[in-house]
Structure 1
Amino acid sequence: MDREEIRDKALKQTREKLRKPVEKDLFLVKTVQQLDKLNKNFREDVENFRDLYSQHFPELVSELTDDERFVDMLDRFGVQRSELEPFQELAESSTGSAINDEEKQIIEDILSQLVETKETTERLEAYVEKEAKKEFQNLSGLLNPLLATRLVALAGGLDELAKKPASTVQMLGAEKALFRYLHGEGTPPKHGVLFNHPFVKNLPEEERGKMARFLANKAVMAARIDNYGDEDKSEGLREEARERYEELKN
């Protein structure tokens, strides 16, 4: 083996040593951030699409208030109101304008983009649901995989979440509201992203702060178990949270 070959082999071995393995929790964080952006874009794009489509079939736009169902129906049956068999009665009395072939194609092209975005978000959700249960089983069991990943994302990673006090975790996602309050606007926030947990949002407003504080405490415990150990205590953590929820609900 000549000097050039030895040099190339050494460089190759060095590159392999320097190549970092993918950190699963950070990949999940980036995935859920992308998912949230796609969901936001989808809502905005559907709103604009509804405005356009209402020129042709305003009654359907009013009838189907759920964005995903609205997109699914048009994708399944077609964009011409005469094609929408489940809504023929509405179509026959519609006050909307007829559309020509070119206008129909424009609507179909936009609809196709919405369907593609929707399918992408579904794939990303499925990935996060599956992998989060493996990567942080206790936190996912306590909250749910998507909410757990969003909390990890806001904290900057699982290790960072495990180090934070519960009072900080309770406010993750409420930074803008807290900033406004500190500058003399509005009231102090009682919760951040944890509001999306059913044990918080389904309570009366005056009890949500207490539940969010309790849940934040358990979330930190779950994050520490996931980060430093390998035990599955998610069922017990979830049950404790449920008991506290029942106390506050009654």
Structure 2
Amino acid sequence: MDAAIRHGFSAVEMSAEDRLKVQHNKVAIIVEAGLAEDEQDALLALHEFSVSLSSLKVAEASARPDQHIIQCINTVDELDKIINIMGARLREWYGLHFPELEGIVQSLSSYCDIVLRFGRRDAITVDALRSIGLQDEKKVDAIARAALTSKGGMISDENLILLQRIAEEIKHLSKQRDALARHMEDEMARVAPNLKDILGATIGARMIAKAGGLERLALLPSSTIQVLGAEKALFRALRTGTRPPKHGIIFQHPSVHSAPRWQRGKIARAIATKVAVAARIDAFTGAKDDTLLAKLNERLEEIREKYVEPRHEEKEEVEKRKGRGRRRGRGREGGEGGGGEERGRGRRGRKR
């Protein structure tokens, strides 16, 4: 209506009663206005209009850039899982031939390079290892010595070819994952620059994906944003009466997971408050606000200075957690030793 008035049209808002009357009598109104010959024709026109409107809304929603960010971060996370699973399988399979390599080379990319470049451990030399980019001399010498004294068995040409194909596929997927991550960084900087400043591109994209879109995230209160991603723990706390979670996806933020336990809730709350503001700016104005990150850092510094030591009740909670951990440790030790004899005595006592 505001747009119609701005363009020079005379418009008056209908009352709720009038709107309801039009809704109930829309078929008759269409026929009376001459837009349809009869009620059947009017119903057909309404059906076609509804289908066209729904298609238009679906097309608009699908074209929104935040939906592409959601698909991008989901693809990155799934590729991480695939690469980790395939990497574990490669290490286990190639470990039958060269088991010592797994304990020396932690990088999956370097492990794949060794499998692709050398194949059998007999071909591994110090100079050859340097040629594939390994610069750590201690590690190079350790791999070369392990190759000479390895306890692994021999491997057939067919199995080696399959392993090298797996290693090649892991390298290809890793490149694809890195390309997607770079694209996501660019898209977050364009679509949600304030959210990217507060959370970083990866955590910000995960937050958008969990909320279902940037606009939906912008409509959430900061208390919901704080525990977004911890729904199971939240509902369990509501059901059992235990303490609710203090953070969800926000825990991945370096300022939260690196903080002492008694500061994490306060830091997560401060970050969630700024995330709510940043998401609203990004969703509804698109302007870049350089003061948000500075204010957040200032608030985080206040928390670190004010809560250097836990309060009394927080200290008790920390001690309880430590006590539960010690009891679990003693329980495991008892299970390995004389726990069976004690349980046996208990059963004999009950029989008597």
**Normalising by structure 2, what TM-score?**
0.61
Kept after mapping to 2: 8 A contact 1:82/1:88: no
Deviation by residue 1:141-198 (Cα, 9 ceiling, x = unmatched):
1111111111111111000000000010011111233244344397532111111111
Aligned residue number for residue 61 of structure 1:
102
* Aligned partner of residue 151 in structure 1, secondary structure: helix
The correspondence for 1:159, drawn from 215, 218, 225, is: 215
The correspondence for 1:78, drawn from 118, 138, 142, is: 118
Deviation by residue 1:175-231 (Cα, 9 ceiling, x = unmatched):
233244344397532111111111111111221111111101100100011111132
Aligned residue number for residue 35 of structure 2:
none
The correspondence for 2:149, drawn from 79, 93, 97, is: 93
C-alpha distance 237-73 of structure 1, shift in aligned 2 (>3 A)? farther
Separation in structure 2 between the aligned mates of residue 71 and residue 155 of structure 1, nearest angstrom: 37
The correspondence for 1:106, drawn from 129, 143, 162, is: 162
Percent identical pairs in the alignment equals: 33
TM-superposed CA distance for 1:80, in Å, is: 2.4
The correspondence for 1:44, drawn from 47, 62, 85, is: 85
TM-superposed CA distance for 1:68, in Å, is: 4.0
Deviation by residue 1:30-71 (Cα, 9 ceiling, x = unmatched):
111121111122212212222112111211111223434433
How many residues of Structure 1 are paired with residues of Structure 2 in the alignment? Answer: 234
Stretches of structure 1 that go unaligned for 5 or more consecutive residues are 1-13
Aligned residue number for residue 199 of structure 1:
255
Q: Does 1:125 align with 2:166?
A: no
Separation in structure 2 between the aligned mates of residue 109 and residue 196 of structure 1, nearest angstrom: 34
Kept after mapping to 2: 8 A contact 1:199/1:242: no
Letter matched to residue 22 of structure 1: A
Bigger mean CA deviation after superposition, 186-195 or 203-212: 186-195
Superposition CA RMSD, Å: 2.4
Aligned residue number for residue 247 of structure 1:
302
Larger CA Rg, structure 1 vs 2:
2
Structure 1: 4+ residue segments shifted above 6 A: none
**Normalising by structure 1, what TM-score?**
0.84
Separation in structure 2 between the aligned mates of residue 147 and residue 135 of structure 1, nearest angstrom: 14
Separation in structure 2 between the aligned mates of residue 50 and residue 138 of structure 1, nearest angstrom: 41
Q: Does 1:141 align with 2:194?
A: no
Letter matched to residue 29 of structure 1: I
Aligned residue number for residue 238 of structure 1:
293
Separation in structure 2 between the aligned mates of residue 185 and residue 117 of structure 1, nearest angstrom: 45
The correspondence for 2:66, drawn from 4, 21, 25, is: 25
Kept after mapping to 2: 8 A contact 1:194/1:212: yes
